[in-house]
Amino acid sequence: MTASHVGETVLVTGGTGYLASWMIAGLLQRGYRVRTTIRSLDKALQVRDAVSEQAGGQAAGTIEFAAADLLGDDGWDEAAAGADYVLHTASPLPFDAGADLITTAREGTRRVLGAAARAGVRRAVLTSSGVTADTGDPDTPATETTWTAPSGTPVRAYPDSKILAERDAWELAAATGLELTAVLPTFMQGPMLGTPNRPGTVEIIRRLLAREIPAVPNIGWNIVDVRDIAELHILAMTSPAAAGQRFLGSGTFLWYRDIARILREKLPNEAAKVPVRTMPDIVVKLLARRNPQMAMVRSELGRTRLVDSGKARTQLGWHPRPTEQTIIDTATALIAESRQG
């Protein structure tokens, strides 16, 4: 425990989330008091069990819980009261069936950061996304100075939700004097804490291992470890250099076929049947007519993205682990989970 953090309280929104659980564990390990929001207090035990794997049962037992929903006003002022910092990671995901992604993300951001401003917190850190800094040019790296324009199309509702919510956050900070920092992660992979209660980005690796897709689409991602993004949020929370700044958190760009190759090479017994054949683009386009997830990624066919996360490395001392290790750790965790199930 770091003595200087004793008594400092951090509010983490969306405590049942993939990223939030790693944030909570990291904060507890550093000696912070942690309060987290969940939509139903019935989920408190689930959060404690998940975090205890990493932080220990005694530390997990100290977590405070507040019931609050991104689409409702109730509970947010109480959740933020007395907090020194707020880490706002709660946001709807593209596979949340029936969710109005844009409305939920924007209204939730206003509610959380509004409560943070009224509570007088030292700093709020927003989990944005690398999609908010996309240059649109495969030869030009994304940097924190880039601002993506929303597309306004239904198939791009998730990227638009992140773009518009971050814009709202900076406007609110300017209007209220809230000290704000934004972290822009790219495609997160890495082990999950606890038992996941919904699909997530690691479904890509799970489906490859389970051979649920016969061939890999010609699509790639800038992969970054969820544990490193949790660390980046904590660095951004306290570093004087982070005030009013955006920080991209990204690792190496990998094609689907690269992920498949890594799995087969490094886990020859468990991943021997992972497909390595490339799915023709025309097949992906045909599937996109009926499959919403395929429709979301259709525009990514054959597209590489360059992302420069040097600012986080130089200004905050952020050191993400090798992307290949993230892939192996993710697969190993999924294999262990499937054996337990």
pLDDT for 262-305, tens place per residue? Answer: 999 999 999 999 998 888 878 878 877 777 667 767 777 768 88
CA atoms within 13 A on the CB side of 112: 37
198: pLDDT strictly greater than 60: no
Tell me which of 33-37, 49-53, 73-77, 298-302 is least confident: 298-302
Examine the residue annotation and report whether 285 is marked as an active-site residue of this protein: no
The CATH number of 3-340, from 3.40.50.720, 3.40.50.300, 3.40.30.10, 3.40.640.10, is 3.40.50.720
Q: How far apart are CA 47 and CA 30, in angstroms?
A: 18
Positive or negative, the CA dihedral 37, 38, 43, 49 is negative
Collapsed DSSP state (helix, strand, coil) of residue 184? strand
pLDDT at 4 over 70: no
Q: Is 299 left (phi over 0), alpha (psi -120 to 50) or beta?
A: alpha
Where does residue 36 fall: left (phi above 0), alpha (psi -120 to 50 degrees), or beta otherwise? beta
pLDDT at 6: 65
User: Residues near 113 by Cβ (< 8 Å), separated by ≥ 6?
Assistant: 86, 88, 124, 126, 169, 172, 173, 176, 178, 180
CA dist., res. 162 & res. 127, Å (int): 9
Domain boundaries, the chain: 3-340
Assess whether pLDDT exceeds 50 at residue 152: yes
Using 50, 70 and 90 to split pLDDT, how confident is the model at 189?
A: very high
Q: Active site residue: 43, 162, 273, 311, which one?
A: 162
pLDDT of 303: 80
At 12, the pLDDT band (50, 70, 90 cuts) reads very high
Weakest mean pLDDT among 92-96, 166-170, 283-287: 92-96
Sheet holding 220-225, edge to edge: 187-189, 220-225, 253-255
Instruction: Name the residue with tokens 């200087």.
Output: 4
Task: Return mean pLDDT, the chain.
Answer: 91
